[in-house]
Amino acid sequence: MNDFVAQLKSGRSLPLPDLDSARKALDLKAHKVLNPAIRRDKHVSEQIDGVTTTRIEPVARIALPLQELIIGRAVAFLFGNPVAYLANPKDPQEQQVFKHLKHILLQAKTDSLNRRIARNVMSYGECAELWYPVPLNRHSSRGENTTLFTLKCTLLSPTLGDTLYPYYNEVGDMVAFSREYKRVGAPDTYYFETYTAHLHYLFKQVNGQYIPVEGYPKANPIGKIPVIYACQEGHETKGVDGLIERLEHLLSNFADTNDYHASPKIFVKGTIHGWSQKGESGAVIEGDKESSMEYVSWHNAPESVSLEIDTLLRLIYTLTQTPDISFESVRRVGGISGVALKLLFMDAHLKVQYKREIFDEYLARRINVLKAYIAQLHLPLKDACDSLEVQPEITPYSLNSEDEQLDYWLKACGGKPLISHQEAIARAGIAQEPLEATRL
């Protein structure tokens, strides 16, 4: 049986994700700049009353959650708008299937589920969801107990303790999906679960050997693997983690430099006999004829450091196609017209189109799995489930200029009103009685 499990583990198209580097990137506490063994505190020698002592001077350590920001914005642009499901039911049976489908998606809160899946894929390189029926015992009006089913969905992710093993054949089709995990309450026991189009296997590791759990394999009634899987090569910020590390190092060094040199310092030559008091106007400082004093100024301001910091930030945003939507950046754009917004978000929208290579197929497969479950739970609708075509559509998040949209549609309608007077008053939300306001 171990050979069977080993064979299932060998069918991945990509190597297992590097969870260690992904977690270090996302966890601020794991950034090198916060590691005292790498960025060491300074040992400063000082002399007090003729006695030389050494004290520890803590250095500045500035860690930036840029990886979290990059992934958060990418997820928001990808699934900030709900996914639309386009269909054209041709008969009442297909309409019923579409109604069931939308109800399942609503009950599973797939708008939030989509964002969680995208965040896991971008953070750790892969994620999956498993759909399964759960019986509901309800008491009918005639006094009979009827067994109904509801569909549930659970997330499978490396961050939740799952090791995922999709198995692909020679033409790239997934013919089996497995996961290795530990159950709650049994932290020392590994389980290996496998789904194929027709069977559901479960193995338990005992003394280093996998043995089938009693009652398995079970039949898979829907004829499809009930798991939807998505992956990408490496975590989202893999290409800029080094740049972020360098930026944190520069900022920390810059903070140390400011601590030493930001406050004005006075260089004194000779002997000073009297100092002025703090805040004293017209003060006189006495010294011998050889004495002099002057402020130590920072003649070589760190323009090169500032340039490198700005360059690093620009490269990090550019290479990850993350828009800089800070207040300063938006202010520099000028008037926020529809064209300016499109230019500001263009790179993020291009990234959404790239991510659709992963998630268009993912969402379409989810629909197919749910239709297969509907066909089993509602047998008279089986043919309608096969014939109904549903197309998920991802719309990138964007701010819209309402004035420009209204102008566009007014031109399209030849300048005629788009909504009624009463509806306009109701939408304004000012009048308490919109119908009465139309009579004024």
Q: What whole-number distance in Å separates Cα of residue 362 and Cα of residue 380?
A: 27
Exposure b/e, 149-160, CB count within 10 A at least 16 = b: eebebeebbbee
Could you tell me if 116 and 181 lie in one domain? yes
Residue 300 confidence (pLDDT) above 60: no
Residue range 223-277, pLDDT digits in tens? 999 999 999 998 999 999 999 999 999 998 888 877 766 666 677 776 766 665 5
151 and 169 inside one domain = yes
pLDDT category at 144 given cuts 50, 70, 90 is very low
Whether the CB-CB separation of 227 and 129 falls below 8 Å is answered with: yes
Cα–Cα dist 274/287, whole Å: 7
Residue 354 lies in a domain: yes
Q: How far is CA 215 from the centre of its chain?
A: 39
pLDDT score of 105: 92
Query: Does residue 135 sit within a domain?
Result: yes
Residue 302 included in any domain: no
Looking at the structure, do residues 193 and 224 belong to the same domain, yes or no?
yes
Looking at the domain assignment, is residue 175 inside a domain? yes
Q: What digits encode the pLDDT tens for the residues 407-436? A: 666 777 777 776 776 676 666 666 666 555
pLDDT of residue 22: 92
Residues pairing with 294 in the sheet:
267
Please indicate, yes or no, whether residues 124 and 142 belong to a single structural domain of this protein.
Answer: yes
Highest mean predicted confidence (pLDDT) among 177-191, 317-331, 382-396: 382-396
Provide the pLDDT confidence category of residue 146 given band limits of 50, 70 and 90.
Answer: very low
In a domain, 301, yes or no: no
Is the domain of 119 the same as that of 99? yes
167, exposed or middle or buried, with CB in 10 Å at 0-12, 13-18, 19+?
Answer: buried
Q: Per the structure block, which two tokens stand in for 79?
A: 């699934």
Inside any domain, residue 72: yes
Given a contact cutoff of 8 angstroms between Cβ atoms, the answer to whether 42 and 59 are in contact is yes
Same domain assignment for residues 349 and 430 = no
Considering the domain architecture, whether residues 161 and 224 belong to the same structural domain is answered as yes
Range of the domain at 121: 2-29+65-238+344-393
Q: Contact 234/18 with Cβ under 8 angstroms?
A: yes
Q: What is the pLDDT of residues 325-365, one digit of tens each?
A: 776 666 666 555 556 667 778 888 999 999 999 999 999 99
pLDDT exceeds cutoff 50 at 65 = yes
Phi, psi (5° rounding) for residue 10? -90, 0
Distance CA 407, CA 187 (A): 62
pTM of the model: 0.80
Average pLDDT in the chain: 82
Which residue type sits at 311? Answer: T
373 and 408 part of one domain: no
Whether 152 and 197 map to the same domain: the answer is yes
What is the rounded distance in angstroms from the CA atom of residue 113 to the CA atom of residue 106? 11
Does 408 share its domain with 388?
Answer: no
Query: DSSP 3-state assignment of 400?
Result: coil
Those residues whose C-beta lies under 8 Å from the C-beta of residue 331, and which sit 6 or more positions away, are none
* 333: in domain: no
Same domain for 191 and 234?
yes
Total domain count, the chain: 2
pLDDT of res. 165: 94
Whether a cis peptide bond, with omega within 30° of 0, leads into 217 is yes
CA 361, 363, 364, 369 torsion-angle sign: positive
369 and 416 fall within a common domain: no
pLDDT higher than threshold 70 for residue 170 = yes
Q: Residue range 176-182: average pLDDT?
A: 92
Asked if residue 263 belongs to a domain, the reply is no
